Structure 1
Amino acid sequence: MANPSPIIRAVVFDLDNTLMDFLEMKRQGCKIAARELVSSGVDLENKDAEKLLMQTHLDVGDEGEDVFEEFLKKLNKKVDKELVKKSFKTYNRAKKEFMKPYPNVIEVLTFLKGKGIKLAVITDAEEPQAMERILGIGVEKFFDAVITQSHTKSQKPDEKPFREALKKLGTKPEETLMVGDSLERDVWGAKRVGMLAAYAKYGEDWEWKWPHKEVTPDYVLHDICELMKIIG
């Protein structure tokens, strides 16, 4: 006899590349900022500058001015503070233009709230950056809790963010579903505390793959709308 489907009372989402296409937003921001850097004297073709700036973002793992300082250091150029500030502002301005939820996100969140499902976000971003994105894609009204690195002083797959989400939502691990694009940070992290886990395959990108054969998600999502069928 097949095991009955678990009763899901809460869904916890990763933010970047789960609710929004963070990497595409970053790529577009880098593209426009790179053009400005080249026009300001950086001796690279636009495409090469864009590629190097994107790689620097991934290497630094941050969204601050230090990315642009590191970019100039990689070119053995003296760090021009004014150019750094100018390029950073251009990057942020361009990035906001491409800050949008994935298709079907609003529909799915509306469906879940209508079902009485509790909702939360767990993100490794600091609170100011996380809230900027959540507000930017227009989903703040849906969530009962937002857990950031600022709250827990830790990052996924550490257990702290997941346990904090469970505490805020007041649900048990076995009735709480984590949805995220990282097998390591989201799926494995959730499984460590006994939560259900859905792998948001639609948000995967080659830079972030983690080939861990022992990690098996309970669900694999090719589109976020597949959550509606899981919840029923």
Structure 2
Amino acid sequence: MLKAVFFDIDDTLYDTSGFAKLARKAALNMMIDAGLPLDSTEAYKLLREIIAQKGSNYDKHFNVLTKTVFGEEKPLLIALGMINYHNVKFALLRPFPRTTSTLINLKSKGYRLGVISNGITIKQWEKLIRLGIHHFFDEVVTSDEIGFEKPHHRIFEVALSRMGCTPEKSIMIGNKFSEDMMGAVNAGMSAILVNCKLTPEEEEYIEKEKLDVKVISDISELNEIL
């Protein structure tokens, strides 16, 4: 019988991609109104290039953007962008529908709940707190803290150790084939993918290897599976 259920955060518990896009565009529009000499399409394209280069956890994307455009950082534009980004982000930050009720149900069944996430520890905790679900989790394990990112087996091993669980009695819930599913399977765990569109090659691999993996379209389906 399963004892521990681990979750990814971004695009598993809430719509990271959707809200981030809206928040970034709102921030850029504010910067354009204040003097950034780009139209919205140009600005968003440049920002995405910077994010791809620096990584999503880098905290000075707007600094790089203004330096790229002007040859130097523009503190006023940076501050306007950051403030508007965070204001919009926090206004939109909500768990996916039925996420909270699913977590309540799993806790009521006696499962221990944990998080395994690639990201900066403080930022991941901030997300869980602002989503209003941090109190459901017994352990939160991040790549920032461990020094290894999913799908590396080490981050899963540390999470299992902290929860006092064996791989055979644990399951990973996430949205990424490689990071979440393959990482968990290679650590000896089973996995469930949610909000994930598998490629034909990925579907074939799961079937061929007879992996202990399920794919669901809504997190509330966990109530029937677990």
TM-score (norm 2): 0.88
- Shift, 1:210, TM fit: 11
Q: CA RMSD in A?
A: 2.3
Q: Greater shift after overlay, 147-156 or 127-136?
A: 147-156
Contact 1:182–1:199 (8 Å) recurs in 2: yes
- Letter of the structure 2 residue corresponding to residue 145 of structure 1: E
- Shift, 1:111, TM fit: 0.5
- Shift, 1:171, TM fit: 1.1
- Shift, 1:142, TM fit: 0.6
Corresponding position of 1:163? 157
Corresponding position of 1:42? 36
Q: Does 1:226 align with 2:224?
A: no
Residues of 2 paired with 1:103 and 1:77: CA distance?
44
Corresponding position of 2:184? 190
Flag the 1:29–1:217 CA change in 2: closer, same or farther, 3 A. Answer: farther
Name the SS of the counterpart of 1:154 in structure 2. coil
Unaligned runs of 5+ in 2: none
Contact 1:72–1:79 (8 Å) recurs in 2: yes
Aligned-pair identity (%): 28
Name the SS of the counterpart of 2:165 in structure 1. coil
Alignment of 1:57-76 (within 5 A): 57-75=51-69
Residues of 1 paired with 2:66 and 2:217: CA distance?
38
Residues of 2 paired with 1:149 and 1:96: CA distance?
24
Decide which of 73, 76, 82 is 1:79's aligned counterpart: 73
Contact 1:32–1:90 (8 Å) recurs in 2: yes
Corresponding position of 1:104? 98
- Letter of the structure 1 residue corresponding to residue 152 of structure 2: D
Residues of 2 paired with 1:183 and 1:59: CA distance?
23
Decide which of 203, 214, 218 is 2:205's aligned counterpart: 214
- Letter of the structure 2 residue corresponding to residue 68 of structure 1: F
Residues of 1 paired with 2:212 and 2:66: CA distance?
41
Runs of 4+ residues deviating >6 angstroms: none
Unaligned runs of 5+ in 1: 1-6
Q: When the two structures are aligned, how many residues end up with a matched partner? A: 221
